[in-house]
Protein backbone atom coordinates (compact mmCIF):
# COMPACT_ATOMS: atom_id res chain seq x y z
CA UNK A 1 0.00 0.00 0.00
CA UNK A 2 1.28 3.49 -0.78
CA UNK A 3 -0.21 6.90 -0.13
CA UNK A 4 1.09 10.43 -0.50
CA UNK A 5 2.34 10.19 3.09
CA UNK A 6 3.65 6.70 3.88
CA UNK A 7 4.72 3.41 2.31
CA UNK A 8 3.71 0.13 3.95
CA UNK A 9 5.87 -2.96 3.33
CA UNK A 10 4.61 -6.25 4.86
CA UNK A 11 7.34 -8.39 6.42
CA UNK A 12 5.56 -11.75 6.64
CA UNK A 13 2.47 -13.59 5.47
CA UNK A 14 0.84 -13.62 8.91
CA UNK A 15 1.23 -10.07 10.23
CA UNK A 16 3.61 -7.14 10.48
CA UNK A 17 4.71 -4.34 8.16
CA UNK A 18 7.45 -1.73 8.07
CA UNK A 19 6.33 1.86 7.55
CA UNK A 20 8.60 4.13 5.49
CA UNK A 21 8.48 7.84 4.84
CA UNK A 22 7.43 9.21 8.22
CA UNK A 23 9.22 10.99 11.05
CA UNK A 24 7.37 10.18 14.28
CA UNK A 25 9.01 13.09 16.10
CA UNK A 26 7.37 15.62 13.79
CA UNK A 27 3.88 17.08 14.04
CA UNK A 28 2.03 14.62 11.83
CA UNK A 29 -1.09 15.75 10.01
CA UNK A 30 -4.42 13.99 10.42
CA UNK A 31 -4.11 12.24 7.06
CA UNK A 32 -0.82 10.61 8.00
CA UNK A 33 -2.20 9.52 11.37
CA UNK A 34 -5.20 8.00 9.58
CA UNK A 35 -2.87 6.12 7.22
CA UNK A 36 -0.85 4.78 10.16
CA UNK A 37 -4.04 3.69 11.94
CA UNK A 38 -5.20 1.87 8.80
CA UNK A 39 -1.81 0.16 8.48
CA UNK A 40 -2.03 -0.96 12.11
CA UNK A 41 -5.53 -2.41 11.67
CA UNK A 42 -4.53 -4.21 8.48
CA UNK A 43 -1.13 -5.52 9.65
CA UNK A 44 -1.70 -5.80 13.44
CA UNK A 45 1.86 -4.69 14.24
CA UNK A 46 3.80 -1.99 12.42
CA UNK A 47 7.47 -1.00 12.56
CA UNK A 48 9.42 2.19 11.94
CA UNK A 49 13.18 2.55 11.48
CA UNK A 50 15.66 5.36 12.15
CA UNK A 51 13.51 7.34 14.57
CA UNK A 52 14.78 9.79 17.19
CA UNK A 53 12.23 10.05 19.99
CA UNK A 54 12.47 11.78 23.33
CA UNK A 55 9.94 10.58 25.92
CA UNK A 56 7.93 13.73 25.18
CA UNK A 57 7.86 12.99 21.45
CA UNK A 58 6.96 9.35 22.01
CA UNK A 59 4.06 10.38 24.24
CA UNK A 60 2.91 13.01 21.74
CA UNK A 61 2.79 10.37 19.00
CA UNK A 62 1.00 7.89 21.26
CA UNK A 63 -1.69 10.42 22.18
CA UNK A 64 -2.76 10.63 18.54
CA UNK A 65 -4.11 7.08 18.97
CA UNK A 66 -5.34 6.99 22.56
CA UNK A 67 -4.56 7.88 26.15
CA UNK A 68 -1.27 6.61 27.62
CA UNK A 69 -1.75 4.82 30.92
CA UNK A 70 0.33 4.00 33.98
CA UNK A 71 1.37 0.42 34.68
CA UNK A 72 -0.13 -1.08 37.84
CA UNK A 73 3.12 -2.62 39.07
CA UNK A 74 6.05 -1.21 37.07
CA UNK A 75 7.30 2.31 37.76
CA UNK A 76 7.64 4.65 34.81
CA UNK A 77 10.21 7.38 34.31
CA UNK A 78 10.24 9.98 37.10
CA UNK A 79 9.39 12.87 34.75
CA UNK A 80 7.26 10.76 32.40
CA UNK A 81 5.47 8.07 34.44
CA UNK A 82 3.55 6.80 31.39
CA UNK A 83 6.88 5.76 29.80
CA UNK A 84 8.42 2.55 31.13
CA UNK A 85 12.15 2.12 30.59
CA UNK A 86 12.65 -1.61 29.98
CA UNK A 87 16.35 -2.12 30.64
CA UNK A 88 18.57 -5.19 30.82
CA UNK A 89 22.19 -4.32 31.44
CA UNK A 90 25.05 -6.34 30.03
CA UNK A 91 25.82 -7.94 33.41
CA UNK A 92 22.23 -8.50 34.53
CA UNK A 93 21.07 -12.00 35.47
CA UNK A 94 19.37 -14.19 32.91
CA UNK A 95 15.84 -12.81 33.29
CA UNK A 96 14.27 -10.32 30.93
CA UNK A 97 11.03 -8.36 30.96
CA UNK A 98 8.38 -9.69 28.57
CA UNK A 99 10.15 -12.99 28.03
CA UNK A 100 7.02 -15.14 27.64
CA UNK A 101 4.17 -15.06 25.12
CA UNK A 102 1.50 -12.63 26.33
CA UNK A 103 -0.75 -9.72 25.53
CA UNK A 104 -0.18 -6.67 27.71
CA UNK A 105 -2.18 -6.23 30.94
CA UNK A 106 -5.04 -8.59 30.02
CA UNK A 107 -5.74 -8.80 33.77
CA UNK A 108 -7.27 -5.30 33.66
CA UNK A 109 -10.97 -4.63 33.22
CA UNK A 110 -10.12 -2.55 30.14
CA UNK A 111 -6.86 -4.02 28.78
CA UNK A 112 -4.51 -2.03 26.59
CA UNK A 113 -5.49 -0.99 23.08
CA UNK A 114 -1.88 -1.13 21.97
CA UNK A 115 1.72 -0.58 22.94
CA UNK A 116 4.45 1.53 21.36
CA UNK A 117 8.02 0.36 21.99
CA UNK A 118 11.07 2.45 21.07
CA UNK A 119 14.62 1.06 20.98
CA UNK A 120 16.97 3.46 22.77
CA UNK A 121 19.86 0.98 22.91
CA UNK A 122 19.59 -2.24 20.89
CA UNK A 123 22.17 -5.02 21.23
CA UNK A 124 24.34 -5.76 18.18
CA UNK A 125 22.72 -9.17 17.95
CA UNK A 126 19.81 -10.91 19.65
CA UNK A 127 16.92 -9.32 21.50
CA UNK A 128 14.38 -9.73 18.69
CA UNK A 129 10.64 -9.68 19.43
CA UNK A 130 8.14 -12.22 18.10
CA UNK A 131 4.52 -11.34 17.38
CA UNK A 132 1.55 -13.69 16.82
CA UNK A 133 -1.72 -13.13 14.95
CA UNK A 134 -4.68 -14.09 17.16
CA UNK A 135 -7.19 -13.79 14.32
CA UNK A 136 -5.45 -16.65 12.52
CA UNK A 137 -5.18 -18.63 15.75
CA UNK A 138 -9.00 -18.57 16.00
CA UNK A 139 -10.03 -18.66 12.35
CA UNK A 140 -8.00 -21.80 11.59
CA UNK A 141 -9.60 -23.83 14.39
CA UNK A 142 -12.19 -26.42 13.44
CA UNK A 143 -15.82 -25.33 13.35
CA UNK A 144 -16.53 -27.57 16.34
CA UNK A 145 -13.76 -26.01 18.42
CA UNK A 146 -14.86 -22.49 17.51
CA UNK A 147 -18.44 -23.28 18.61
CA UNK A 148 -17.10 -24.71 21.87
CA UNK A 149 -14.95 -21.65 22.62
CA UNK A 150 -17.29 -18.85 21.47
CA UNK A 151 -19.43 -18.68 24.64
CA UNK A 152 -16.60 -19.31 27.13
CA UNK A 153 -15.00 -16.79 29.46
CA UNK A 154 -11.66 -17.08 31.22
CA UNK A 155 -10.19 -15.69 34.42
CA UNK A 156 -7.19 -13.37 34.03
CA UNK A 157 -4.94 -12.33 36.91
CA UNK A 158 -1.54 -10.73 37.46
CA UNK A 159 -0.87 -12.84 40.56
CA UNK A 160 1.66 -15.10 38.86
CA UNK A 161 3.71 -12.11 37.69
CA UNK A 162 3.19 -9.38 40.27
CA UNK A 163 1.56 -10.99 43.31
CA UNK A 164 3.32 -11.36 46.68
CA UNK A 165 4.45 -14.84 45.62
CA UNK A 166 4.75 -14.08 41.91
CA UNK A 167 7.71 -14.06 39.58
CA UNK A 168 8.79 -10.46 40.27
CA UNK A 169 8.72 -10.99 44.04
CA UNK A 170 10.81 -14.16 43.74
CA UNK A 171 13.41 -12.26 41.75
CA UNK A 172 13.63 -9.79 44.64
CA UNK A 173 14.62 -6.16 44.90
CA UNK A 174 13.65 -4.16 41.84
CA UNK A 175 12.09 -7.13 40.09
CA UNK A 176 13.53 -8.25 36.77
CA UNK A 177 16.71 -6.14 36.66
CA UNK A 178 18.33 -3.61 38.95
CA UNK A 179 17.51 -0.84 36.46
CA UNK A 180 13.74 -1.46 36.62
CA UNK A 181 11.45 -0.91 39.56
CA UNK A 182 8.71 -3.54 39.81
CA UNK A 183 6.40 -3.41 42.83
CA UNK A 184 4.58 -6.69 43.64
CA UNK A 185 1.39 -6.20 45.64
CA UNK A 186 -1.86 -7.79 46.76
CA UNK A 187 -3.63 -5.86 43.99
CA UNK A 188 -2.29 -8.48 41.59
CA UNK A 189 -4.53 -11.09 43.23
CA UNK A 190 -7.61 -9.46 41.70
CA UNK A 191 -9.31 -11.50 38.99
CA UNK A 192 -11.03 -10.37 35.79
CA UNK A 193 -13.31 -12.28 33.42
CA UNK A 194 -12.85 -11.87 29.65
CA UNK A 195 -14.23 -13.78 26.68
CA UNK A 196 -11.98 -16.53 25.35
CA UNK A 197 -12.84 -15.32 21.85
CA UNK A 198 -12.71 -11.54 21.48
CA UNK A 199 -14.34 -9.50 18.74
CA UNK A 200 -12.12 -6.61 17.67
CA UNK A 201 -14.08 -3.35 18.14
CA UNK A 202 -12.75 -1.81 14.91
CA UNK A 203 -12.20 -4.69 12.47
CA UNK A 204 -15.09 -6.86 13.67
CA UNK A 205 -12.91 -10.00 13.37
CA UNK A 206 -12.77 -12.64 16.09
CA UNK A 207 -9.52 -13.74 17.70
CA UNK A 208 -8.32 -15.86 20.59
CA UNK A 209 -7.91 -13.89 23.80
CA UNK A 210 -5.99 -16.10 26.23
CA UNK A 211 -2.31 -16.01 27.11
CA UNK A 212 0.01 -18.07 29.28
CA UNK A 213 1.10 -15.20 31.54
CA UNK A 214 -2.28 -13.91 32.75
CA UNK A 215 -4.99 -16.47 31.86
CA UNK A 216 -5.53 -18.88 34.76
CA UNK A 217 -8.68 -20.93 34.13
CA UNK A 218 -12.07 -21.02 32.46
CA UNK A 219 -15.06 -19.51 34.25
CA UNK A 220 -16.75 -22.11 36.45
CA UNK A 221 -13.86 -24.60 36.14
CA UNK A 222 -10.86 -25.45 38.27
CA UNK A 223 -7.30 -24.78 37.23
CA UNK A 224 -6.74 -28.53 36.85
CA UNK A 225 -9.79 -28.94 34.62
CA UNK A 226 -8.88 -25.92 32.50
CA UNK A 227 -5.19 -26.63 32.07
CA UNK A 228 -5.24 -29.17 29.19
CA UNK A 229 -7.51 -26.97 27.04
CA UNK A 230 -5.61 -23.80 27.88
CA UNK A 231 -2.26 -25.37 27.11
CA UNK A 232 -3.58 -26.37 23.70
CA UNK A 233 -4.85 -22.82 23.08
CA UNK A 234 -1.54 -21.30 24.23
CA UNK A 235 0.31 -23.46 21.69
CA UNK A 236 -2.24 -22.67 19.01
CA UNK A 237 -2.03 -18.93 19.69
CA UNK A 238 1.71 -18.92 19.00
CA UNK A 239 1.88 -21.47 16.17
CA UNK A 240 4.90 -20.49 14.06
CA UNK A 241 3.01 -19.83 10.77
CA UNK A 242 0.94 -17.22 12.65
CA UNK A 243 4.03 -15.22 13.71
CA UNK A 244 6.56 -12.68 12.55
CA UNK A 245 9.94 -11.71 13.98
CA UNK A 246 11.33 -8.20 14.27
CA UNK A 247 15.04 -7.43 14.39
CA UNK A 248 15.63 -4.35 16.50
CA UNK A 249 18.08 -1.57 15.74
CA UNK A 250 18.64 1.52 17.84
CA UNK A 251 15.96 3.98 16.71
CA UNK A 252 13.41 1.31 15.76
CA UNK A 253 9.77 1.54 16.87
CA UNK A 254 7.12 -1.19 17.09
CA UNK A 255 3.42 -0.38 17.51
CA UNK A 256 1.19 -3.42 18.07
CA UNK A 257 -2.51 -3.97 18.61
CA UNK A 258 -2.94 -5.78 21.94
CA UNK A 259 -6.51 -6.68 21.02
CA UNK A 260 -5.40 -9.22 18.41
CA UNK A 261 -1.65 -9.78 18.93
CA UNK A 262 0.58 -11.60 21.39
CA UNK A 263 4.30 -10.89 21.67
CA UNK A 264 7.45 -12.41 23.15
CA UNK A 265 10.78 -10.67 23.84
CA UNK A 266 13.67 -13.04 23.17
CA UNK A 267 16.41 -13.21 25.78
CA UNK A 268 19.44 -14.16 23.70
CA UNK A 269 21.77 -11.19 24.12
CA UNK A 270 23.77 -12.01 27.24
CA UNK A 271 26.66 -9.62 27.66
CA UNK A 272 24.96 -6.76 25.83
CA UNK A 273 22.78 -3.90 27.08
CA UNK A 274 19.21 -3.39 25.83
CA UNK A 275 17.03 -0.37 26.66
CA UNK A 276 13.50 0.08 25.32
CA UNK A 277 10.90 2.75 26.16
CA UNK A 278 7.30 1.55 26.22
CA UNK A 279 4.06 3.51 26.17
CA UNK A 280 0.80 1.61 26.56
CA UNK A 281 -2.56 2.98 25.43
CA UNK A 282 -5.73 2.45 27.45
CA UNK A 283 -8.34 0.26 25.78
CA UNK A 284 -11.89 -0.98 26.13
CA UNK A 285 -13.50 -3.98 27.79
CA UNK A 286 -13.21 -7.09 25.60
CA UNK A 287 -16.46 -8.36 24.10
- The reply to whether 133 falls in a domain is yes
- The reply to whether 287 falls in a domain is no
**Total count of domains within the chain:** 1
What is the reported pTM?
0.95
Domain extent for 129: 67-281
- The reply to whether 101 falls in a domain is yes
Sequential pLDDT tens for the chain (287 residues): 444 579 999 999 999 999 999 999 999 999 999 999 999 999 999 999 999 999 999 999 999 999 999 999 999 999 999 999 999 988 887 678 888 999 999 999 999 999 999 999 999 999 999 999 999 999 999 999 999 999 999 999 999 888 877 666 556 545 556 678 888 888 989 999 999 999 999 999 999 999 999 999 999 999 999 999 999 999 999 999 999 999 999 999 999 999 999 999 999 998 999 999 999 999 999 99
Of 234, 230, 203, which is closest to residue 217 (Cα–Cα)? 230
What CATH code is carried by the domain that includes residue 183?
3.60.130.10
What residues are annotated to the active site? 102, 104, 263, 278
- Give backbone dihedrals phi and psi of 80, rounded to 5 degrees, phi first: -145, 75
- The reply to whether 146 falls in a domain is yes
- The reply to whether 286 falls in a domain is no
The number of angstroms, rounded, from the C-alpha of 176 to the middle of its chain's C-alpha atoms is 17
Provide the pLDDT for residue 92.
81
DSSP codes, the chain: -B-SS-EEEE-SSSS-EEEES--TTS---HHHHHHHHHHHHHHSEEEE-S----HHHHHHHHTTTS-B---SSB---SS-TTEEEEEE-TT--S--TT-SSB-TTTTSSS--SEEEEEEEE--SS---EEEEEHHHHHHTS-HHHHHHHTT-EEEEESHHHHSTTSHHHHH-TTSSSTTS-B---GGGG-EEEEESEEE-TTT--EEE---TTTEEEETTS-HHHHHHHHHHHHHHHT-GGGEEEE---TT-EEEEETTTEEEEE----TTS-EEEEEEEE------
Provide the pLDDT for residue 163.
81
- The reply to whether 113 falls in a domain is yes
- The reply to whether 86 falls in a domain is yes
Residues 6+ apart with CB under 8 A from 184: 73, 162, 163, 164, 166, 168, 169, 175
Provide the pLDDT for residue 168.
64
Q: How far apart are CA 200 and CA 207, in angstroms?
A: 8
- The reply to whether 207 falls in a domain is yes
Provide the pLDDT for residue 71.
94
Whole-angstrom CA distances from 21 to 27, 36, 135, 245 are 14, 11, 28, 22
Amino acid sequence: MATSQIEVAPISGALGAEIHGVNLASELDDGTIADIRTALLENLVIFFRDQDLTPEKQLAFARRFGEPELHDFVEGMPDHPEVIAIIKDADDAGYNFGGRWHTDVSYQERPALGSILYAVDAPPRGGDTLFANQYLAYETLSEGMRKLLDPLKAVHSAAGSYGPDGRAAKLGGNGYTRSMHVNPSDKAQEEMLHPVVRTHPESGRKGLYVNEVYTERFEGMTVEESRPWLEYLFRRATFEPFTCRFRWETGSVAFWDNRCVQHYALNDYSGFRREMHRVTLGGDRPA
